Amino acid sequence: MSNNAKSPLKVALHAMDERSVRTMVMYLKGPCQGAAVVVDKASAEVDIFDGDSVNAKQLLAERLAKPTVKQVIVLSLQNVYLDNVVSVKKPVKSEDMLGALAEAKARFEQAKKNSPTIADNEASVDDIPEEKPVLKSYTINTDEQNKTSKHQTAMQLNEAAFGTYIGNVQGVDVNDPAQFAKATYVPKDYFQGYIQSAINTCQDKNETLQLHSGWRQLVLLPQSHEIWLDAEDKELRAFASLKLDHAPSKKMSLSPFHSELSTLTKSPEKFHSMDAFVWKLACWTSKGRYPDSIDVDHPVYLKHWPNFSRLLITPHAMRIAALLVQEPRTLGDVAVVLNIKPQYVFVFVSAAHAMGLVAQARRESDELVQPPDLNPIKKQGLLGRIISKLRGNKA
């Protein structure tokens, strides 16, 4: 038993709910080695307040107004500067708490000696930082909740489903390293290029625009970052793979959208988030190729993780993202290191590139330093089983 535990400081807890009280009791008993023990308010030598609770300010004001030898400790996320109050900043560390208890104990002993004359407490609770409201005010637009397409969770493709869903390119084996140079496509030649250009324009103008493509009605809404398309995914997938005619008579154009937005909200399932739309459009346009602006012999890197919970997840996409966010690698190197078909790397990079998430490492140092091989984590088998469970719900 520690010295502290032989004569523990008697403390009372204030402005804490039942759960906090239980936690605090455990805390004093365990990490604080019994330096203090929770007692009823009348028997306490020290009062401990949770300075962040809703009623803390009022309770503390009432307590400080009473002349007493009892000492006060305040636990708070913010720095508390009050006379005759010992403060401990959250997260409460055992060392800090033990120090505060020792200080409060010393003050209590001193105050007892000076008793019965007790100086009025000069501390003012106005010195305690006001608790900020924790919630922003907002208006819930119920139309938002009906836009199922926008809020649809990401679909995860496995390798078997990938071929059917993404399609392939005639005349080139994108998985043959000798043919990598031919496994490119030019986004501008496809609907993808027009959409990316239209998005840039509508965002620059911050204006709702309609794209006249000679195909289906498409409206771009920059303020909500959405696209409304009068077509199903399978139709878009087919259209995405068509190389478009650039003849002047076939050019697409943009014009302001003059109709009432309510005409669109009648079909909430046709709304797409711009990011999710561009991402899947790039996947379908790529068909396992990569954009011609990427040099397959130079490393690329990922600026940050894509928002996968709202995007089409192609096979191995998360593994590729995890690797490329760590360090630049060539596309071929990614396929080798992860032991996967290059087409999976190409389609991921096409989508991430369309979102502006991929860049080519141009700094000399990026190319001189050979990225290290992967160091398998010790628990690889276990983590793999967790992945299987999460994906397939195998028990």
Partner 1 sequence: MSQYKIIFTGPVGAGKTTAINSISDTPPIKTDAAASDMTKSRKAATTVAMDYGIMNLAGGEKIHLYGTPGQERFDFMWEILVNGGIGLILLLDNTRTDPFQDMKFFLEAFDKFIGETGVAIGVTQMDISTTPTIDDYHLQLKTLGIKPPVFSVDARVKNDVSVLVQSLLFSLDPGLEEEA
- Interacting residues toward partner 1 by CB under 8 A: 17-20, 22-24, 26-27, 30-31, 77, 90-94, 132-136, 138, 140, 144-145, 151, 153-154, 156, 303-305, 307-310, 313, 318-323, 325-326, 337-338, 374, 376-377, 379-392, 394-395
Q: How many CB atoms lie within 10 A of CB 345?
A: 30
User: Least distance in Å: CB of 377 to partner 1?
Assistant: 4
Q: How many residues does the chain have?
A: 395
Using alpha carbons, list the distances in angstroms from residue 183 to 171, 279, 296, 319, 326.
10, 19, 10, 22, 25
User: Least distance in Å: CB of 196 to partner 1?
Assistant: 17
User: Least distance in Å: CB of 115 to partner 1?
Assistant: 33
Distance (Å, whole) CA 97 – CA 90: 10
Torsion of CA 243, 247, 250, 253, to 10 degrees: 100
Cβ nearer to partner 1, comparing 30 with 214: 30
Cβ nearer to partner 1, comparing 52 with 189: 52
User: Least distance in Å: CB of 17 to partner 1?
Assistant: 8
Q: How many CB atoms lie within 10 A of CB 11?
A: 27
Cβ nearer to partner 1, comparing 117 with 370: 370
Cβ nearer to partner 1, comparing 219 with 311: 311
User: Least distance in Å: CB of 69 to partner 1?
Assistant: 27
DSSP 41: G
User: Least distance in Å: CB of 201 to partner 1?
Assistant: 20
Which among 223, 298, 306, 230 has a CA at the least distance from the CA of 264? Answer: 230
Cβ nearer to partner 1, comparing 231 with 337: 337
User: Least distance in Å: CB of 349 to partner 1?
Assistant: 15
Which among 188, 166, 172, 190 has a CA at the least distance from the CA of 243? Answer: 190
User: Least distance in Å: CB of 70 to partner 1?
Assistant: 23
Cβ nearer to partner 1, comparing 11 with 254: 11
Tokens standing for residue 105: 């104990």
Cβ nearer to partner 1, comparing 252 with 336: 336
Element holding 88 (H helix, E strand): strand 85-89
Cβ nearer to partner 1, comparing 287 with 329: 329
Distance (Å, whole) CA 105 – CA 383: 49
Distance (Å, whole) CA 194 – CA 211: 9
Cβ nearer to partner 1, comparing 289 with 316: 316
User: Least distance in Å: CB of 168 to partner 1?
Assistant: 24
Q: Is 61 left (phi over 0), alpha (psi -120 to 50) or beta?
A: alpha
The DSSP code sequence of 174-238 is TT-GGGGGG-EE-GGGSHHHHHHHHHHHHHHHT--EEEE-SSS-EEEETTTTEEEESS-HHHHHH
User: Least distance in Å: CB of 318 to partner 1?
Assistant: 5
Query: Is the N-terminal amide bond of 91 cis, ω within 30° of 0?
Result: yes
Cβ nearer to partner 1, comparing 170 with 365: 365
Distance (Å, whole) CA 231 – CA 346: 26
Contact 9, 101 (CB under 8 A): yes
